[in-house]
Structure 1
Amino acid sequence: MTPRSLFALMLITATPSLHAAPMQWADIRDGSLYLQVDRPDTLQLRWSPAWQSDANQEQLYLLQPDGQLLQQLDIRADQPYGQRDLALPAASGDYRLQVPGYSFRNFKVSHDSSTLAQFEPAKVHFSADVPSGVELYFRVAAGEQAQLAGKYYGGVSVLQATRLSDGEQRRLQLVEHPQYGQFDRIALPVAAQDEVWRLSLGGSGKAAFWLDGSANLFAQDLRQLHPLQWLPGRVELELKPQRRGPSPQLGIALPYAAPPPSTFELLRALGPRAANFYSFVDVIRQEPERELSFRRLYRETFNIDRDITLLAGTGRQAVLTADSQTLAGLDAWLADSAQLGNRGLHYLAFADEPNLNYPSYEVFADYFARMLEHTKANPEARAAGVRIAMPVSSRLLDGPFRVGAGQRRGIDWARQLLAAHAADIDALAWHEWMIRDLLATRRYRASVRAAADLVGLDQQGRPRKALLLSQTNISSGPDLSPYQQDTHYAALWWTSVVINASQDGLLDMLNWFQAADEPEYPKGMLAQQDAQRFSLKPVARAQQFIQQHWLGEVQALDNRSFEVDALALVDGTRHSLLGVAKTQREQTIDLGGAPQLCESGPSLQLLGADGRARPGQLQCHQGRASFQLPGETLFALTWNTL
C-alpha cells in the first residue's frame, strides 16, 4: 500500500494521460520545496488562512535552477484564500519554491509525480500542519553521523525512523521544553553505504522535524531522493553615478546600565554609531541622574551620537499612562538630556510597540498627546538634541502578533498620529520581526520605501521625517532558533538586512536587537560566558566586517540577482561595494561602471563561516572587475578614485 505522505499523497481518478497522477504537499508554513523537472510541469498552488492572515501580506519565491527569480508571488492581506498556477519548463538542476517563515497561511502545492520533489523543513520552527499517518523518506550517505531532530508544538509528538535495508528503528518522543530553542534529537547509526530511511510522524497538527549531519531533505517517494544540484550563478552589477542619499547609522540595543569594562574592546569592534535605549520611568523618578553616567559613557567613549530611547516601566513594562510617576520620569530623562549637552540627536519614544501592547489606538493617542505637550514645555531638551519619534510599532506594513492585528498595523497608527501631530513629530520609528528567511529580506527595502512614502519627500528627495528602524532581529521575543542566532546564518541575515534597508538612502538608523545575550533572550551580538566574559558571535563578526567598509553615502547600483545582495557606498574618493551570497551556490560577480577601479589598487575581502576575513582573487580589466564568490559568503570590494 502506498504510504500517506507529507502532506497527504493525493491520487486523482485515473484517466487516459501521458502524465502520472498529481502529488500534493500540504500544509506548508515554512520551508523549501526543491523540484527537478525533466519535462514541463505546472505547480498548482493554493492557500487558506492559518492565523492573522487578514493582517499580513505574504511573498513566495520560485527560483530557477541557476538561482535567478522566475516568479514572485505577492499575496495581499485581503487575500486569505487563493490559488495560482506556476509554469515549470523542463530544465537541468533543481527549481526552488520558497515558503518563507513565519507564514500566516497554509500552502498546498500540487505537481506531476514525474517531477522529483524534496522538502527541506526549517529547523526548530515548525514547518507544516499535517494530517495523521504522514510518512516520508530520507537518505543518509555512507559514513555520515546523522541526527534526527524535532520539536513539539502541540501536534506531532513522535518521530519514528525505519531503515529500509534491515528494518532497524529509532523512535524519538517529542516533549515540551521550557525554552523555545530547546528540542529533542536522536543519533542514527553510521553505515558503510548509503541508507534510505522511512520517517513516520506520530500525531497530527503542527510538525517540526529535521536532520543534522546529513542532507535535510525529505521525499514522498524514495525514488525521488537525489542530491541537490547547485548550478553556478552569475551576478552582473553596474555602478551608476547617482547618489541615493546618506547611509544609515548602524547600531545595537544597549543595556540599561554601564557595560562591564571587559566588553569595551568588543563594543569597539562592533563599531556602533547608533543605539537603542530603554528608560524606566519608575526607576529614574526615584534615582534622578541615574542614567547620566552610562549615557555619557556610550557617547564619549564609543562615539555614539545618534540614539533612540523608549520609555517603559521596570522590566520593559510597555503600557504607561500619563500619570504623575510617568511625567516625573519623563522630566528626569529630559533634564539628563539637557545636562548632557548638545551633541548628536536623541530620539524619544513615549512607548514601546504601542500597537502590540496598548488596549486601542485611541488609548495610546490620548497618552501620546499628553506626553507630547509635556515634552514641548521643556525647550532646553530640544536645544540639547531631543527629538520626538513615533509610534515605534511592532512591524510596519503588517500587524503585530496578537488578536485584532488587522486594526493594529504600525503604518496605520503612524498615519493617524501624523495627521494629528505632524508639526511636532520628528521621526517615524518601527521594529521589524519575523522575516526569518534569507530570501525574504528584500521586504526590508519595501518597508523603508513605504515609510518614506508615508512621511513624504522634501525638495532634495529626503524623507520629511527621519526613518528609524530602531530594533530588528530574525525572530521576536524568545522564539529563537540556535541554528539561526548562533551560527553564520545570522551573519548572512544581518548583512542582507543592512543592504536591503539601506539600498535607497532613505533610512537614518538601523539597530540590531540586542547587544548581548540574556538568559531568556539569547539574541545578542555578544555571547555571555559569565558575568564578566563575553565573546563575538558570528553576527558580530559580520557587523565588524560591515563597519570596516561602511561609507557615508549610498550610490546607485543595478543588481538583477536574487541570491546575492549588494550595496554601493561612497565617501569622497573612497568607494566600497558590500555584498553577501545567501545560498550555497558559487557565484561569478562581474562589476562595471567604475572606470578608475583597475588603476586604483582595489582590494577584495571575503568573510565565510569561519568568521575570518581573507583576501579574494580579483580580475580587473578596463574598468570591469570580476571574482569568484563562494556560497554563503560576505564580500567587500574597496577602491579609491583619483
Structure 2
Amino acid sequence: MKPRSLFALMLFVAPSLYAAPMQWGDIRDGSLYLQAAAADTLHLRWSPAWQSDANHEQLYLLAPDGQLLQALDIPASQAYGQQDIHLPAAQGDYRLQVPGYSFRNFKIGHDSATQAQFEPAKVHFSADVAEGAELYFQVAAGERAVLAGKYHGGVSVLQAVRLSDGLQVRLKLERHEQYPQFDQVPLPPASQDEVWRLSMGGSGKVGFWLDGTANLFAQDLHQLHPLQWTPGQVELTLKPQARGPSPYLGIALPYAQPPQSTFELLRALGARSANFYSFVDVIKSEPLREIGFRRLYREMFAIDHDITLLAGTGRRPVLEADRQTLAGLDAWLADSAQLGNRGTHYLAFADEPNLNYPSYAAFAAYFGQMLEHTRANPDTRAAGVRIAMPASSRLLDGPFRVGAGQRRGIDWAQRLLQEHGEDIDALAWHEWMVRDLLATRRYRDSVRAAAQLVGLDEHGRPRKALLLSQTNISSGPDLSPYQQDTHYAALWWMSVVVNASQDGLLDMLNWFQAADEPEYPKGMLALRDAQRFALKPVAKAQQFIQQHWLGEVQALDNPAFEVDALALRDGARHSLLGVAKTLRPHTIELAATTDLCQSGPRLELLGPDGYSHDAPVQCHAGRAVFQLPGETLFALTWKTL
C-alpha cells in the first residue's frame, strides 16, 4: 500500500480505532475549531491537489478572541511543505481556516487532549477522505436538523446512526445537472440532545453538512461542544491623509435593453460603473441594438464609466482579427462616437484571454492587430474610448485550466505592457473563487500588485487605470445557494469592496452579474419569472454601500482580522463603512484627530434580516464607540464642523 494511502486511513476516523495524536485531512475547504486546555502544537503538512504550481495559498489561525495569530503564506513554488504552529493554552476556540477554493491537500495533526471540531463548507467539497471515514455530530433537543450532501465524484453515500437507539438515516448522493443542486434528508427530532455517527460510503472528494443545527463534526463524540464567540474589541484610528479616489462600483449588465420592470431595482443598486459585452457577429447586423441600451444606462442610470469586452454570440471568447471582428469593432467605435464624449469607456479586445486563447503568442498577435485598427480611427479618444488589457481570469494566480502556471494574468499583462505600454490605458482583470470571508483581504493584495506592475506617477497614482471589472464568490455555474442567495453574499461583497478600495488605487469594481440567468444564478437581482425580479441580499448590501459612498478614501488603521473597515470623505462629509464577518460581537472604538462626538455621528446597521436600522453611538474622550453584532454591515457617518 502506498504511504499516502496508509496515512489516509487515519483521516476522519474515530480515535477509538487510532491513538493520539489526532489527524485531519485531506482538508480543502473548511474551519477547524480547537480548544486547548493545555499547550499544544499543530502539525501542518500539504501536498499538491490541482494546479498548485499556479496558485499561492493562505491559511489563517485565529485566537479565541478573533485576533489573527498567524497567516501561513504558501507560494505557488511550494507544492509540498510542512510547518508546526504553537497553540498556547487558552479558554475558548481557536480557528484554523483553510479557505476554499484550495489547490492543496492539507493534513493537520494535534494532541488528542485538544478538543477539535470541523465545520465543512456547504455544497462545495470540503475534503478528500478514505473509505469508511466516520465522524460524530450533535443535534440539540427539539432541533429539526437536516443532513445534506453533494456528489463530487467521490463519496456517494452518507449514513447517520443515532447512538441512543441505533436509528439509521441513509442519504444517497446523486449526480445533478446543475452545480447548486444537492441531496438532503431530515433527521427525526428528539426531546433530548442526541449524538449521531456519520459514515461515508466511498472515498475521494466529499461534500457534507448540516442545516437546522450546528454544522460541526468531531472525531471523538466527547469533544462535541457549542462554539464560544468571545466578544472582541477593535480600536480604529482615522488619519488625516487621503489615500486616493474611491472606485466606481457597478455590475455587469446584459447584452439587451432591460425590461422596464427592472428600472426601479436597478436605480436602487446605484451602480456607477458597468461591464458590457459586444458581440462582433451581432452588432454589424443590428446597428441600433447597443446604442439603445448604452444610452439608456448612461442617461437614465448615470453610468458613465464602463468597460466593454468583445466576444462572439453567447460570450464566445476566442476571436481573430478577421473581417467580421474588425467590422464589429468599427461598429462599436462608431456607436461610441455617436453617443458623444461623456464619461470613460474602456475597451478590451477579448474576454479572459489567459483562460481561453491557445497561447500568449496567439493572443498577443490578435491584440496587436486590434490595437492598430483602433488607433487608426480618429474618433476613438474623442469619444472617451480607452484601451484596457488583458481582462484576464484572475491576476496573481492562474486560470482554471491545464497549464495555468504559464497563464497567470499578471504575467500576460506585463508582457503586453512591454510591447504596447504607451497605447494601453488600463489594466483589467476578473477575480474568482476567493470564496471565504476571511480570505477577502487577498483583493487588497491583487490591487497593490496591479499598481506595482503599472507603476505610480509623481502623485502616487497608478500610471494606468486599474479595473477589477468582474468578480463573484464563485466562477461560472459552480455556485452555492448558501452563499449567493443569502446574507453571506452581502457580507462578502462589503468585505471585497472594503479590501479592494483600501489604498485608493482602484478605479472600477464590478459585481458579476446584474440579474440571475437560468444557468448562472449569480446576479444581484433574483429572477422570479420572465418579467419579475427582486433584490437579493447582496443587492441590499450594494444599496447600503452606495447610500454612504463618498469620493475619497481616507487613511485608516485597523488591527482587526474579523472586522473590515473603510474610511471615506467628501469635503466635510465622512463615512466609515465596514462589516463583521463572523458571529462574534465586537465593540468598535474610532479615534480621529478631531472630536468625533461634536459632529453627532450616526450609525446604521444592516443585519441578516435585510433591513437597515439606526443604532446608538456613545462618546468617550472624543471617540465614537458602538456595539457591532456579528455578521453585520455598518455605516458610521458624520460631518466635520
**Bin of the TM-score, shorter chain as denominator length:** over 0.9
Alpha-carbon offset, residue 596 of structure 1? 3.4
The residue type paired with residue 497 of structure 2 is V
2:612 — aligned with what?
613
2:12 pairs with one of 7, 11, 14: 7
Counterpart contact for 1:5–1:135, Cα < 8 Å: no
Deviations 1:414-443 (A, max 9, x none): 000000000000000000000000000000
542 and 74 in structure 1: CA distance in 2 versus 1, 3 angstrom threshold: same
1:16 — aligned with what?
none
4 and 212 in structure 1: CA distance in 2 versus 1, 3 angstrom threshold: farther
Counterpart contact for 1:7–1:27, Cα < 8 Å: no
Alpha-carbon offset, residue 289 of structure 1? 3.0
Deviations 1:540-580 (A, max 9, x none): 00000000000000000000000000000000000000010
The residue type paired with residue 399 of structure 2 is P
The whole-number CA distance in structure 1 between the counterparts of 2:9 and 2:590 is 50
2:79 — aligned with what?
80
The whole-number CA distance in structure 2 between the counterparts of 1:351 and 1:8 is 49
Matches within 5 A, 1:312-331: 312-331=311-330
2:630 — aligned with what?
631
The residue type paired with residue 31 of structure 1 is G
Counterpart contact for 1:11–1:21, Cα < 8 Å: no
The residue type paired with residue 634 of structure 2 is F
2:143 — aligned with what?
144
1:450 — aligned with what?
449
Counterpart contact for 1:581–1:634, Cα < 8 Å: yes
Alpha-carbon offset, residue 12 of structure 1? 11
Deviations 1:399-423 (A, max 9, x none): 0000000000000000000000000
Alpha-carbon offset, residue 5 of structure 1? 6.5
Deviations 1:135-163 (A, max 9, x none): 10000000000000000011000000000
Q: Is 1:99 paired with 2:98?
A: yes
Deviations 1:590-641 (A, max 9, x none): 1001523211121100000011000011101332011110000000000001
Structure 2 unpaired stretches of 5+:
1-7
The whole-number CA distance in structure 2 between the counterparts of 1:356 and 1:599 is 54
The residue type paired with residue 188 of structure 2 is P
Alpha-carbon offset, residue 514 of structure 1? 0.1
The whole-number CA distance in structure 1 between the counterparts of 2:422 and 2:13 is 57
1:391 — aligned with what?
390
The residue type paired with residue 7 of structure 1 is F
Alpha-carbon offset, residue 379 of structure 1? 1.9
1:203 — aligned with what?
202
The residue type paired with residue 43 of structure 1 is L
Counterpart contact for 1:289–1:332, Cα < 8 Å: no
The whole-number CA distance in structure 1 between the counterparts of 2:239 and 2:13 is 51
The residue type paired with residue 333 of structure 1 is W
1:547 — aligned with what?
546
Counterpart contact for 1:551–1:576, Cα < 8 Å: yes
1:299 — aligned with what?
298
Alpha-carbon RMSD: 1.2
The residue type paired with residue 155 of structure 1 is G
Matches within 5 A, 1:480-519: 480-519=479-518
Counterpart contact for 2:10–2:23, Cα < 8 Å: no
The whole-number CA distance in structure 1 between the counterparts of 2:120 and 2:331 is 50
The whole-number CA distance in structure 2 between the counterparts of 1:162 and 1:217 is 16
Matches within 5 A, 1:154-193: 154-193=153-192
Counterpart contact for 2:595–2:623, Cα < 8 Å: no
The whole-number CA distance in structure 2 between the counterparts of 1:107 and 1:596 is 49
Alpha-carbon offset, residue 9 of structure 1? 6.0
Alpha-carbon offset, residue 7 of structure 1? 2.6
The whole-number CA distance in structure 2 between the counterparts of 1:289 and 1:422 is 33
The whole-number CA distance in structure 1 between the counterparts of 2:263 and 2:16 is 63
Deviations 1:287-344 (A, max 9, x none): 2232101100000000001000000000000000000000000000000000000000
Alpha-carbon offset, residue 286 of structure 1? 1.3
The whole-number CA distance in structure 1 between the counterparts of 2:419 and 2:427 is 14
The whole-number CA distance in structure 2 between the counterparts of 1:493 and 1:573 is 29
The whole-number CA distance in structure 1 between the counterparts of 2:128 and 2:249 is 38
The whole-number CA distance in structure 2 between the counterparts of 1:267 and 1:276 is 14
Matches within 5 A, 1:449-598: 449-598=448-597
Deviations 1:16-52 (A, max 9, x none): xxxx720100100000000000000000000000000
Counterpart contact for 2:501–2:553, Cα < 8 Å: yes
The residue type paired with residue 515 of structure 2 is A
Counterpart contact for 2:586–2:629, Cα < 8 Å: yes
The whole-number CA distance in structure 2 between the counterparts of 1:522 and 1:440 is 23
The whole-number CA distance in structure 1 between the counterparts of 2:595 and 2:259 is 46
1:362 — aligned with what?
361
The whole-number CA distance in structure 1 between the counterparts of 2:138 and 2:15 is 23
The whole-number CA distance in structure 2 between the counterparts of 1:79 and 1:596 is 49
The whole-number CA distance in structure 1 between the counterparts of 2:631 and 2:211 is 18
432 and 273 in structure 1: CA distance in 2 versus 1, 3 angstrom threshold: same
The residue type paired with residue 630 of structure 2 is G
Please give the secondary structure, in 2, of the residue aligned with 1:286.
coil
Deviations 1:361-407 (A, max 9, x none): 00000000000000001121210100000000000000000000000
The whole-number CA distance in structure 2 between the counterparts of 1:468 and 1:149 is 39
The whole-number CA distance in structure 1 between the counterparts of 2:424 and 2:484 is 35
2:286 — aligned with what?
287
2:349 — aligned with what?
350
164 and 464 in structure 1: CA distance in 2 versus 1, 3 angstrom threshold: same
Structure 1 unpaired stretches of 5+:
14-19
The whole-number CA distance in structure 2 between the counterparts of 1:570 and 1:461 is 19
The whole-number CA distance in structure 2 between the counterparts of 1:632 and 1:236 is 18
The residue type paired with residue 25 of structure 1 is W
Counterpart contact for 1:6–1:220, Cα < 8 Å: no
Query: TM (normalized to structure 1)?
Result: 0.98
Quote the sequence identity (%).
80
The whole-number CA distance in structure 2 between the counterparts of 1:238 and 1:598 is 15
Please give the secondary structure, in 1, of the residue aligned with 2:478.
coil
The residue type paired with residue 309 of structure 1 is T
Query: TM (normalized to structure 2)?
Result: 0.98
Counterpart contact for 2:125–2:205, Cα < 8 Å: yes
